[in-house]
Structure 1
Amino acid sequence: MRRSRTAISVEILRAAMEGAKKTHIVYRANLNFEVVNRYLAMLEEKGLIEKKENLYQTTEKGKEFQEIARELGL
């Protein structure tokens, strides 16, 4: 079964809550590097995740997005 873009985004944000390297995000979200690269670029552009050195960290806006998605059952 395919996951929605929202579900994938939430998984990536969840993986990066405490800061995570790209490899950790790939394994945690069960995606490949090509897909993760596209999603990370989109999430950074939207201000939901930020890159600090070689770690990705979910922003406050990203945490709010996760909460809303969880409440909606996405």
Structure 2
Amino acid sequence: MPLEDALEEGLKKSLKWRFKERRGKLEIIADILSATLKGAKKTELVYKANINFTRIERYLTYLMEIGLIEQIHGEYRITEKGREFLRDYQNVKEQLVT
């Protein structure tokens, strides 16, 4: 196999792996909700949800607006509506895997 073909094949595999592993918005939301089950500060959420500060701000604002999380004494906590969403998300994910 010529070098150009080998490089192209390697690039295709690398890109395919990268895009396959990229999380969607629902996965990020589920990660944030999971991290707020026992309450968490913003810095903790950044690390637990593996997301930067700019993006976590947007997600937290959105999740509070739709009632999936709430902020109490500087900590973010999942609401009952958030628990239902997380439970439903996990059920759908399990159904897709099996």
**TM-score, normalising length: structure 2:** 0.73
Asked if residue 10 in structure 1 is aligned to residue 30 in structure 2, the reply is yes
Give the unaligned 5+ runs of structure 2.
1-20
**1:30-50: CA deviations, max 9, x gaps?**
110000000000000000000
Give the unaligned 5+ runs of structure 1: none
The number of residue pairs the alignment matches comes to 74
Q: Name the amino acid aligned to 1:45.
A: E
What corresponds to 2:9 in structure 1?
none
Q: Which has the larger radius of gyration?
A: 2
Q: Tell me which protein shows more helix as a share of its residues.
A: 2
Aligned to 1:35: 55
Runs of 4+ in 1 over 4 A off after TM superposition: none
Tell me the secondary structure at the aligned position of residue 77 of structure 2: strand
In the TM superposition, what are the counterparts of 1:1-74 in structure 2 within 5 Å? 1-73=21-93
| CA RMSD in angstroms, aligned pairs only | 1.0
Q: Partners in 2 of 1:50 and 1:57 — Cα distance?
A: 5
Which gives a bigger RCO, structure 1 or 2 (Cα 8 Å, sep 6+)? Answer: 1
Give the TM-score of the pair, scaled to structure 1.
Answer: 0.96
